[in-house]
Structure 1
Amino acid sequence: MKVIAGILLMNLLTYTCFAASYTVIGFVKERRGYAAVTERLAQDGRLIGAALAGRPPAERRPALEAAARERGYAVVLADASGERIAASGGGSGASADPVLSPASLQSVLAGDTMERVERKYPFSKGTATAAVPVSLGGKPYALFLEQPAPSLYHDFWQQVMTVFFGFLLMFVLMLLIGRPWRVQGGFSVYISAIRRMSKGDFTVSIDKADRMRGHLGELATSINDMAAELNQMEQMRQAFISNVSHEIQSPLTSIRGFALALQQEGLDERQRQHYAGIIEAESVRMSRLSDNLMKLTALEADQQLLHPRTYRLDQQLRSTILACEPLWSEKDIFMDVNLDERVPVTGDEELLSQVWMNLLTNSLKFTAEGGTVSVEAKRTAGGAVICVSDNGIGISEEDLPHIFERFFKADRSRTRRLNGSGSGLGLSIVKVIVDLHGGEVKASSKLGLGTTITVTLPDPSSADREAQPPAQQTRTS
Structure 2
Amino acid sequence: MKNKFRALYPGIHYVLLGLLLALVGGLPGILFSKDLSKILHNEYVGWYLVYWFIITAIYVLIVIYFRRKRIEKPVKEMCEAAKKVANGDFSVYLNPPKDSYDYIQDMYNDFNHMVEELGSTKTLKNDFLGNVSHEFKAPLAVIKSYSNALKTGSLTQEEQQKSLDIISESADNLSTLVTDILRLNNLSNQSILAEIKKVNVSRQIADAALLLEPYWDEKGIEVEADLDDSCEVFSDEEMLSIVWNNLINNAIKYGKENGKIWILSKTVDDGIIISISDNGIGMKEEVVNHIFDQFYQGDISHRQKGNGLGLSMVRKIIDKVHGTISVTSTYKKGSTFSIWLPKNIGDYNR
TM-score band, normalised by shorter chain: 0.7 to 0.9
Displacement after TM superposition at 1:391 (Å): 0.5
Task: Give the letter aligned to residue 247 of structure 1.
Answer: E
Partners in 1 of 2:243 and 2:226 — Cα distance? Answer: 18
Task: Give the letter aligned to residue 85 of structure 2.
Answer: M
Q: Who is 2:309 aligned against?
A: 425
**Partner SS state of residue 155, structure 2:** coil
Partners in 1 of 2:168 and 2:129 — Cα distance? Answer: 25
**Could you tell me whether the CA contact under 8 Å between 2:251 and 2:278 is conserved in 1?**
yes
Taking structure 2 as the reference length, what is the TM-score of the superposition? 0.74
Q: Who is 1:407 aligned against?
A: 295
Partners in 2 of 1:260 and 1:192 — Cα distance? Answer: 57
Aligned residues, how many? 289
Task: Give the letter aligned to residue 376 of structure 1.
Answer: L
Instruction: State yes or no: 1:318 paired with 2:206.
Output: yes
Partners in 2 of 1:300 and 1:320 — Cα distance? Answer: 24
Return the match for 1:262 from 127, 137, 150. 150
Displacement after TM superposition at 1:452 (Å): 0.7
Return 5+ residue gaps in structure 1 as ranges.
8-176, 464-477
Displacement after TM superposition at 1:365 (Å): 0.9
Report the structure, 1 or 2, having the larger strand content. Answer: 1
Matching of residues 420-459 of structure 1 within 5 Å: 420-459=304-343
Partners in 1 of 2:294 and 2:129 — Cα distance? Answer: 11
| RMSD over equivalenced CA pairs, Å | 2.8
Partners in 2 of 1:294 and 1:198 — Cα distance? Answer: 30
**Partner SS state of residue 144, structure 2:** helix
**Could you tell me whether the CA contact under 8 Å between 1:381 and 1:462 is conserved in 2?**
no
**Partner SS state of residue 275, structure 2:** strand
Q: Who is 1:224 aligned against?
A: 112
Q: Who is 1:133 aligned against?
A: none
Q: Who is 2:234 aligned against?
A: 346
Q: Name the CA shift for 1:234/1:367 in 2 (closer, same or farther; >3 Å).
A: same
Return the match for 1:210 from 97, 101, 107. 97
Which has the higher relative contact order, 1 or 2, with Cα contacts under 8 A spaced 6 or more apart? 2
Return 5+ residue gaps in structure 2 as ranges.
8-62
**Could you tell me whether the CA contact under 8 Å between 2:322 and 2:341 is conserved in 1?**
yes
Displacement after TM superposition at 1:361 (Å): 0.8
Residue by residue over 1:202-251, the C-alpha shift from the partner in whole angstroms, topping out at 9 and shown as x without a partner, is 11123x43325136555544443332222222222222122112211211
**Partner SS state of residue 97, structure 2:** helix
Instruction: State yes or no: 1:271 paired with 2:159.
Output: yes
Q: Who is 1:298 aligned against?
A: 186
Partners in 1 of 2:111 and 2:91 — Cα distance? Answer: 11
Instruction: Please identify the structure whose Cα radius of gyration is greater.
Output: 2
Partners in 2 of 1:278 and 1:461 — Cα distance? Answer: 43
Q: Name the CA shift for 1:194/1:313 in 2 (closer, same or farther; >3 Å).
A: closer
Residue by residue over 1:251-306, the C-alpha shift from the partner in whole angstroms, topping out at 9 and shown as x without a partner, is 12212222222222422222222212211211111111111111111112116623
Partners in 2 of 1:218 and 1:452 — Cα distance? Answer: 40
Task: Give the letter aligned to residue 435 of structure 1.
Answer: D
Task: Give the letter aligned to residue 199 of structure 1.
Answer: N
Q: Name the CA shift for 1:199/1:386 in 2 (closer, same or farther; >3 Å).
A: same
**Partner SS state of residue 238, structure 1:** helix
Return the match for 1:382 from 270, 273, 280. 270
**Could you tell me whether the CA contact under 8 Å between 1:383 and 1:462 is conserved in 2?**
no
**Partner SS state of residue 285, structure 2:** coil
Q: Name the CA shift for 1:304/1:276 in 2 (closer, same or farther; >3 Å).
A: farther
**Partner SS state of residue 455, structure 1:** strand
Taking structure 1 as the reference length, what is the TM-score of the superposition? 0.56
Q: Name the CA shift for 1:194/1:324 in 2 (closer, same or farther; >3 Å).
A: same
Partners in 2 of 1:354 and 1:240 — Cα distance? Answer: 21
Residue by residue over 1:8-63, the C-alpha shift from the partner in whole angstroms, topping out at 9 and shown as x without a partner, is xxxxxxxxxxxxxxxxxxxxxxxxxxxxxxxxxxxxxxxxxxxxxxxxxxxxxxxx
Partners in 2 of 1:303 and 1:462 — Cα distance? Answer: 14
Q: Name the CA shift for 1:396/1:461 in 2 (closer, same or farther; >3 Å).
A: closer
Partners in 2 of 1:462 and 1:295 — Cα distance? Answer: 22
Task: Give the letter aligned to residue 302 of structure 2.
Answer: T
Return the match for 2:248 from 360, 379, 383. 360
Q: Who is 1:469 aligned against?
A: none
